Amino acid sequence: SYELTQPLSVSVALGQTARITCGGNNIGSKNVHWYQQKPGQAPVLVIYRDSNRPSGIPERFSGSNSGNTATLTISRAQAGDEADYYCQVWDSSTNYVFGTGTKVTVL
Amino acid sequence: EVQLVESGGGLVQPGGSLRLSCAASGFTFSSYSMNWVRQAPGKGLEWVSYISSSSSTIYYADSVKGRFTISRDNAKNSLYLQMNSLRDEDTAVYYCARDPGSSSYRFDPWGQGTLVTVSS
């Protein structure tokens, strides 16, 4: 089965850049989507198909995908960006797969 | 405004059954594939099941295959999840989520979730 690995936590200073990685075998050949989940709330899509932002998502959120790693980048981090972030792909053998999740803390 | 509202969660004993519902509004429900995704307390997200717009294609996660049944009623703009033979490990918040189009294989938006607790 296909697996996605994320760091458990990432800390970033206010106004600085956070990078969250999502590792998977040849993930660069797949479309990667990213979700933000704040405590007690449902997840929200923040990046789709590697690097596209849905309407209403700030330009500070960006994504890339190559080789065995996809990356979600949060520029000029704000206190409101504190949340859990999950990557997700579709795999023909496993169907939908989520990453293990990363807790982002803004210091 | 696109809205998904889940209902039907609650406390059930191991081995019991529960039926979840998801009421959709603000979009043409019959044109979209739908999913159920769950999240155990303090854990990550786990996809549960998928149903295409016409119900012709259905997928299940291995963890629920043979116990859960996904269905939909396009006339009622509603999605369902029939859960049988429930186990402790099925305890989770269950979210319904739309596939935004053309089998994009992503989830947008999500409902607010309904909590299912399996315990004796």
Q: What are phi and psi of A18, to 5 degrees?
A: -110, 140
Residues of B in contact with A31 (CB under 8 A): 105-106
Distance CA B58, CA A72 (A): 31
The torsion of the CA quartet A100, B79, B29, B5, rounded to 10 degrees, works out to: -70
Contact A74, A12 (CB under 8 A): yes
Nearest C-alpha neighbor of A74 from the set A3, A2, A20: A20
A98: nearest CB among B44, B108, B113: B44
pLDDT tier at B100, thresholds 50, 70, 90: confident
For B103, which residue in chain A has the nearest alpha carbon?
A90
Residue-wise pLDDT for A74-85, tens only, equals 999 999 999 999
Distance to chain A for B109, nearest Cα, Å? 7
Judge: B112–A42 Cβ closer than 8 Å, yes or no.
yes
pLDDT tier at B64, thresholds 50, 70, 90: very high
What is the average pLDDT value for chain B, to the nearest integer? 96
Q: Measured in whole angstroms, how far is the alpha carbon of residue B107 from the centre of its chain?
A: 12
pLDDT tier at B36, thresholds 50, 70, 90: very high
Q: Which residues of B touch A (CB under 8 A)?
A: 35, 37, 44-47, 50, 59, 61, 95, 104-113
Average pLDDT over residues B3-19: 98
CA distances from B102 to A31, B7, B53, B98, B114 (A): 14, 27, 10, 11, 27
b/e sequence A30-45, b meaning 16+ C-beta within 10 Å: bbbbbbbbeeeebbbb
B105: nearest CB among A42, A86, A90: A90
| The pLDDT value given to residue B16 | 98
